[in-house]
Amino acid sequence: MSKAIVATASLAGCFGCHMSILDIDDKILQLIELVEFNKSPIDDIKEFTKMCDVGLIEGGCCNSENIENLINFRKNCKILISVGECAIMGGLPALRNGIPIKECLDEAYLGGPTTGICNPDKIMPNDEELPMILDKVYPCHEIVKIDYFLPGCPPRAELIWEALTALLTGKEMNLPYEVIKFD
């Protein structure tokens, strides 16, 4: 059986979901038999080199680079999966959604408790190389079509493993309560 090609990305996430992908312990050896990673922080491949079977997305979209990256994943992955609460609902970064963007930037760079030390000249970053911050943090399915959602913060390693192997082998998912409950 030829290996499935998998790509992964972290947008506005904390890499905890990627840690959970790697937290499948010795099943990592089975995973290597089953899949080949393409563009992903796991193998540090920066650009797509072929069409992928599955894309795993961690994090929502908080800036223009996240949007470009997500659209690129949609184009290059047959199946796209939102992994974790940040990708599904915006997660912790979306706490800023109820606050005007100017207030957020002022707090971060001008008036926050540490800005006197870290940014004494009160410079608001404005290099044209920097991605533009969005008006709010968007969940991935509001930007592109998402095929599946794996909830959790992060989703448990067993859940990611079960979902991925079910998808790639056509076998039924085995999801005992402990795997899908969230404390």
Q: What is the contact surface with ligand SF4 in residues (CB under 6 A)?
A: 13-14, 16-17, 58-59, 84-86, 91-92, 153-154
- Cβ 20 to ligand SF4, closest distance in Å? 7
Neighbours of 24 (CB within 10 A): 18
Nearer of residues 115 and 134 to ligand SF4, judged by Cβ: 134
**Locate tokens 């797509």: which residue?**
48
Q: Which residue minimizes CB distance to ligand SF4?
A: 16
Least distance in angstroms from the C-beta of 19 to ligand SF4: 7
**Nearest residue (CB) to ligand SF4, 89 versus 106:** 89
Pick the closer one to ligand SF4 by CB: 59 or 139: 59
Q: How far is the CB of 91 from ligand SF4 (least distance, A)?
A: 4
- What Cα–Cα distance (Å) separates residue 174 from each residue in 20, 160, 162, 166? 18, 11, 7, 9
Burial letters 90-118, b for 16+ CB under 10 A, else e: bbebbebeeeeeeeeeeebeeeeeebeee
